[in-house]
Amino acid sequence: MEFCTVETASGKIRGLISSGVRQFKGVPYGACTGGKHRFRRPQPPVPWAGVRDCFAPGPVSPQAPYDRDNDYARLIQYDLNVAFGGMGEDCLHLCIWTPGTGRQDKRPVMVSVHGGGFAIGSGNHPMYDGAKLAQSGDVVVVSVTHRLASFGFLDLADVDPSAEWAEAGVAGILDLVAALEWVRDNIAHFGGDPSYVTLFGQSGGGWKVSTLLGMSAARGLFHRAAIQSGSLTAQMSREAAAAVAHAFVRKLGLTPATLGRIRELEWSDLLAAQTAVGAASFAPIIDGVHIDAAPLSDVALARFDHVPLIISTTLDDAGLFFTDFNLSHEDLGRLLLARYGETAKLLTKLYQECCPEKSPYLLFAQMMTESGFRRFAHAQAEAKAARGHAPVYMYLWEWTSPAFDGKFGAVHAMDVSASFHNERDAILGGGSREAQRMCQDLASTLVAFARTGDPNNARIPHWPHFDASARATLVFEPRMRVQKNPYGKQREFWLGMPAASSVLG
């Protein structure tokens, strides 16, 4: 077995070498967030003497295990969120994969922010393993683990408006800023170029990237960004965040007068209250200091005018929310009639014309995707393109997952494994030849984007910038193509309808 040692600002670390890739796991970018540091901005890691072994991932933010009886959870192996590294408040860690550690190498750096909304997930999950991407793309890959749910986004400032709790509601996002600062200051030791950092995230990871794209503290810390099925067009309201915070504090048996005791409790007590209130109830708000503008406001957009974007969805993103795979056409008709009244007839006709072979379940999944995920993605891309500065590119993932006999279609998170070139993952079919090709196509495209800011490469047809007129979209499926305004009639229908829930998995 081969080892390699790298110097960081906090001390030396030792990693493993496998298939030519240097791997460092559980690298601290911040101090433990428990005790006196709970609900506060991240602090620098405590320096150490000697050499620290970084062979395994560090703990993840406390969270309830995912339901293994859910087929979608099994498809993406979400029960593994807490399987590597355990749980705890010492959760500010990175995993790093690099082909070489020479400071002269100056490889592009690709920083992955994991999904799971703002509530669950982990950069330790196997779907974010960066070894193959680092090897095939000659890039440095970094995955980040940070505070989630109540540990990272509990807006205690409404419970007690003193400065003591001013950062509690945005601590999880400030963790990501700290991680990017660590990359800026240390990644050259891992063969990376801190002036070529690409930030990318899917689902909740996309929400976090969308949030960082409006924060002045993140300006200059990354130079390209990709948002996959996670376009965030609005933040949680202060009123909603306040209601969650008050409910959470009551679950702990505390009051505004006794709030200071919250730092003395075990993290398991907070996890129990978080589970009772609902982990998905937590999200960052516009606090006026760290996050001072909505994602699509001119203020937020102007800060990152110089950053090119990739924005994407999968055809059937919303399928993660539904389990009625045996839905009949009659059932679907009744469901749509109850939701949309007489417009249900037009809706049914629109989708049967474009997708006559899809099951009723997948028709409904695509409808709900276009009502929510795709609408938000187009809104974000349109806002970026309208400013006329750095380009934005749009892609649509249409390749159907072969797992579970294809019943999920082109479901949410299919392109995560492909982004990392992990064709062996179950969602892609366990290493089939077609899965390998799809992984090569998407991973090569993201690497080209990380290297130059332009995703065009020899594996894809010429991919023009997105604009609100032509709406050029690269469609990822075995017969890859660029299409203008795909599913345009369906998109226009939803513009006049209420949006579906924006909650992501």
What is the CATH code of the structural domain delimited by 324-495?
3.40.50.1820
What's the rounded Cα separation, in Å, for the pair 444 and 217?
30
Percentage of the chain exceeding pLDDT 90 = 85
- Read off the pTM: 0.95
Clarify whether 150 is annotated catalytic: no
Residue pLDDT tens, the chain, 505 long: 799 999 999 999 999 999 999 999 999 999 999 999 999 999 999 999 999 999 999 999 999 887 777 888 888 887 777 767 789 999 999 999 999 998 888 999 999 999 999 999 999 999 999 999 999 999 999 999 999 999 999 999 999 988 899 999 999 999 999 999 999 999 999 999 999 999 999 999 999 999 999 999 999 999 999 999 999 988 899 999 999 999 999 999 999 999 999 999 999 999 999 999 999 999 999 999 999 999 999 999 999 999 999 999 999 999 999 989 999 999 999 999 999 998 999 999 999 899 999 999 999 999 999 999 999 999 999 999 999 999 999 999 999 988 888 899 999 999 999 999 998 877 887 778 899 999 999 999 999 999 999 999 999 999 999 999 999 999 999 999 999 999 999 999 999 887 654 433 3
Domains of the chain, residue spans: 20-45+54-237+282-307, 324-495
Architecture of domain 20-45+54-237+282-307: 3-Layer(aba) Sandwich (3.40)
Per residue in 480-502, pLDDT (tens digit) is 999 999 999 999 999 988 765 44
Per residue in 37-93, pLDDT (tens digit) is 999 999 999 999 999 999 999 999 999 887 777 888 888 887 777 767 789 999 999
Q: Please tell me the predicted confidence (pLDDT) of residue 493.
A: 93
Q: Rounded to whole angstroms, what are the CA distances from 398 to 252, 302, 313, 476, 486? A: 45, 32, 9, 6, 11
Per residue in 232-253, pLDDT (tens digit) is 988 899 999 999 999 999 999 9
The region that residue 84 occupies, defined by phi over 0 for left and psi between -120 and 50 for alpha, beta otherwise, is: beta
Torsion of CA 221, 226, 227, 233, to 10 degrees: 60
What's the rounded Cα separation, in Å, for the pair 336 and 345?
8
- Structural tokens at position 163: 């400065």
For residue 93, the one-letter residue type is H
Name the active-site residue from 10, 112, 203, 359: 203
For residue 49, the one-letter residue type is A
Q: Do domains 20-45+54-237+282-307 and 324-495 have the same CATH topology?
A: yes
What's the rounded Cα separation, in Å, for the pair 111 and 431?
24
